[in-house]
Amino acid sequence: MRTLLIALTLVSTTTTTAIPLEAGTPLTSSTGARCVNGFNADGYLMLHPSCAGAGATVKGPGGGTIGPVVAARTTYSIVKVVDPTAWDQLPRAAGTTITGSAETPVGGTVCMLSPTTGHRCGTVTAKNATVTFPQGTISGLTRTNLCAQPGDQWAAVISGTQAQGHVLGGGGCSTYFQPVNRILAAEGLTLLTR
């Protein structure tokens, strides 16, 4: 009588859940700076330059590494998402699903979604403004009458479900942002929408 031996191989399968990333998600850089994520581009993040400059890497919630800075500009930094299976990039800002980036004209309504100070709305008061910030003179900005407060830096600005930009700064109730379409065009990125 022959005995048939069957070898069983047990395979341990562990599923890891991707960590969500949306506009406003808190991040840290390898330099120790804390900031928030901007609108998601497909495979990339847009951050304020004070968060992560050239040579830095960025970490997400839980301390996992998202990726390196691949472009460091005067008004923004771009981070590449190295492992897309670890991070779930979402087309959202404070619960609002982003469906595009059509620019709102002067007089149009815009809302600032700050993870620090909350949700406030106002109007666009000028386009192509030139402003001098500590990092230099910047042109092509959009001015609004949104009243920014400490902690609003890089807050997402939307109009309905359309991404507009991120707060760079301002004074009182005169706040400026760089149109997100200019960043996307300059870096060859695609805004994440669903």
Q: Are 160 and 170 in contact (CB under 8 A)?
A: no
Which tens digits make up the pLDDT trace of 105-153?
999 999 999 888 888 999 999 999 998 877 788 999 999 999 988 888 8
Taking the domains of the chain in order of start, what are their residue ranges?
19-91, 96-187
Residue 58: half-sphere exposure toward Cβ, Cα within 13 Å: 35
pLDDT of residue 193: 94
> pTM for the full model?
0.87
CA-to-CA separations, 134 to 9, 177, 179, 184, in angstroms, rounded: 63, 15, 20, 24
pLDDT digits over 27-79, tens only? 999 989 999 999 999 999 999 998 988 989 999 999 999 999 999 999 999 99
Domain 19-91 has CATH 2.40.10.10: yes
Tell me whether the CATH fold assigned to 19-91 matches the one assigned to 96-187.
yes
CB 174 within 8 A of CB 145: yes
> 151 CB contacts (<8 Å, ≥6 apart)?
114, 116, 117
Please give the CATH topology (third level) of the domain spanning 96-187: Thrombin, subunit H (2.40.10)
- Tens-digit pLDDT profile for residues 151-185: 888 999 999 999 999 999 887 899 999 999 999 99
